[in-house]
Structure 1
């Protein structure tokens, strides 16, 4: 339950207020020259304290590789890495040592394990995703160099980026604090998040991810379909509530005549309502999907709840929290997708030997 992947795997450890996070990656190909700056760049995109609309916890999120790499190249043996926690404030959580926060994992962890680490949620903390970004950033380097993975915030609450991704310059996503590449929409999103934050409240939204130049043939035909592996990875993100690819739920309103992607003579398709995936396997067109995220459960305002004995209590979030998870979730979505793609890409190479 702490391992991601089928052939290429990531097993993780660490808690929000423990000494460090880290992971072990197995079956990573030997002889790959690692670009460490690219790995750290992705971690920097995820780390807290980047702007006024995200949590102000200060962490450098510096990754240290401890095995599986020699003279800058992967050796083919398990790759171990750690990322130290540098700015824990466990006292911010002492008030919920025996109380269950609404919509958190407090109650369910107690039911499953008989105890829980209440400091920032322990293993249930979204800080766990730092491991996924590190592994995904490394896994990106396994993929063909022309494969592009770009995610962006497509909605915050009821504010939507109405432009299709084809009309957006996705290279400009990070120029906005909210990581929406449409400046006019981004401005509205930021204003909404700031308004919600002042109220001690939180807000959700969606993230769109686009994968370009993925070779045809990636994904398995039955269990291990490309869309299923992507969905499984995305729905493991703490606040994720839904996943759709291609036409998604809109496709349920269409007829087959409207929905079918007709072929061109070069095997591309005239439309791409399939989202680049047919029969669970990539067809060479853009793969695109959208992930829905709920509002962050920690509110900086009083809420009624219960304690471990069933007594009614009042809980109120303290410390540093995101009012909206979306801006920092963009690199999580991208790098989780990269890990899934690298896993399926390597499986496909083994099949073709």
Structure 2
């Protein structure tokens, strides 16, 4: 299977299936000398692991990360970092009754068309559980970026049609509610909305917003390796994500040049912007302001209602999907979006090191 590796210099390859023995990631290109331990990775995995409340799947997974290589005496060695996460609570029998059916909203049909064979247990490689490897790798990238003063703030902006207005954010509330919403009142409204979804045997989608602070100007390649294009591609690779916005995003289509342009001004030796409609990028290159991206997450496709579909023989059938599923994916996907953003930025930073001859000369003269 091609397409399991992301990045040019700082790369991650994820592996494993939802109901296999384990899954994980291999991170290559991480510089030597970074302080790293399993707890650094665990803090990220704990944000996405299942079984944390009524709005997540009841599947009980410890999601304990184990570093197999690339770290010695608490420091990265510059060699590939291999991370394994064992599966502990598979219930493959939940899928036996529908193993020959194409679940609506899932990749069953497309996997069959591409490979002629698929692991039907929970979606196999296309399961949301694959993101555990991404999160583990993203934790490594975020740890490296923190050394450079680059930090991420990621949260649920909306669930269903309950959206937090930009002026109503209280970032101290993000970890104070199970929905990771930066507003107590909106989190309460969203919780009530999800209760209705559960009663109706339905699910909901939402929007995740990620803010990247501390990224210097000049990061990103101006053609195919644009910062915004790379971020969009990485975040769109998350199975549940159906759209990505940078800055004003689709709102820019309803604006005017006189409003959408961000005026520059001199702040001593620094150049700053009065507004940030562009979301921190110009021409695909970071402009030194906060990078803002949003991801649209679809409703969980596994719902308890009867659904119409077909089986592998082309017969029309009706199915009920049993098992343990999230009524909303958004809260657990918050850290997945953050991880993909961190991996993208880490890679582009390393690629950028060769953009100027003066920088290369300085690096080797200082050795």
Q: TM-score, normalised by structure 2?
A: 0.93
Q: What residue number does 1:270 align with? A: 274
Distance 1:36 1:298 in 2: 32
Please report the RMSD computed on the Cα atoms of aligned residues, expressed in angstroms.
Answer: 1.2
Q: What residue number does 1:192 align with? A: 193
Summarize the alignment of residues 233-248 of structure 1 with structure 2, pairs less than 5 Å apart: 233-248=234-249
Distance 1:294 1:169 in 2: 25
Q: What residue number does 2:120 align with? A: 118
Q: What residue number does 1:90 align with? A: 92
Distance 1:299 1:144 in 2: 39
Q: What residue number does 1:60 align with? A: 62
Note the alpha carbon deviations across 1:125-178, whole angstroms, 9 max, x for none: 0000000000000111221443220111111111111234xx523243111111
* SS of corresponding position for 2:179: coil
Summarize the alignment of residues 29-40 of structure 1 with structure 2, pairs less than 5 Å apart: 29-40=31-42
Summarize the alignment of residues 66-105 of structure 1 with structure 2, pairs less than 5 Å apart: 66-105=68-107
CA contact (8 A) 2:99 2:120 kept: yes
Q: What residue number does 1:128 align with? A: 130
CA contact (8 A) 2:145 2:151 kept: no
Summarize the alignment of residues 257-336 of structure 1 with structure 2, pairs less than 5 Å apart: 257-266=258-267, 267-336=271-340
Shift of 1:212: 1.1
Shift of 1:238: 1.0
Q: Which runs of 4+ in 1 moved over 3 A?
A: none
Higher mean alpha-carbon deviation, 143-152 vs 187-196, is at: 143-152
CA contact (8 A) 1:99 1:306 kept: yes
Higher mean alpha-carbon deviation, 64-73 vs 341-350, is at: 341-350
Shift of 1:257: 1.3
Distance 2:79 2:151 in 1: 27
Distance 2:56 2:25 in 1: 25
* SS of corresponding position for 2:85: strand
Shift of 1:35: 4.3
Q: What residue number does 1:106 align with? A: 108
Decide which of 342, 346, 351 is 2:346's aligned counterpart. 342
Distance 1:87 1:242 in 2: 32
Q: What residue number does 1:148 align with? A: 151
Q: Which runs of 5+ in 1 are unaligned?
A: none
Distance 2:178 2:138 in 1: 22
Shift of 1:214: 1.1
Q: What residue number does 1:229 align with? A: 230
Q: TM-score, normalised by structure 1?
A: 0.97
Distance 2:37 2:65 in 1: 13
Shift of 1:209: 0.9
Shift of 1:198: 2.1
Distance 1:161 1:168 in 2: 7
* SS of corresponding position for 1:119: coil
CA contact (8 A) 2:38 2:65 kept: no
Q: Which runs of 5+ in 2 are unaligned?
A: 361-367
Distance 1:38 1:2 in 2: 23
CA contact (8 A) 1:53 1:194 kept: no
Note the alpha carbon deviations across 1:103-141, whole angstroms, 9 max, x for none: 210010000000110000000100000000000001112
* SS of corresponding position for 2:166: coil
* SS of corresponding position for 2:96: helix
Q: What residue number does 2:363 align with? A: none
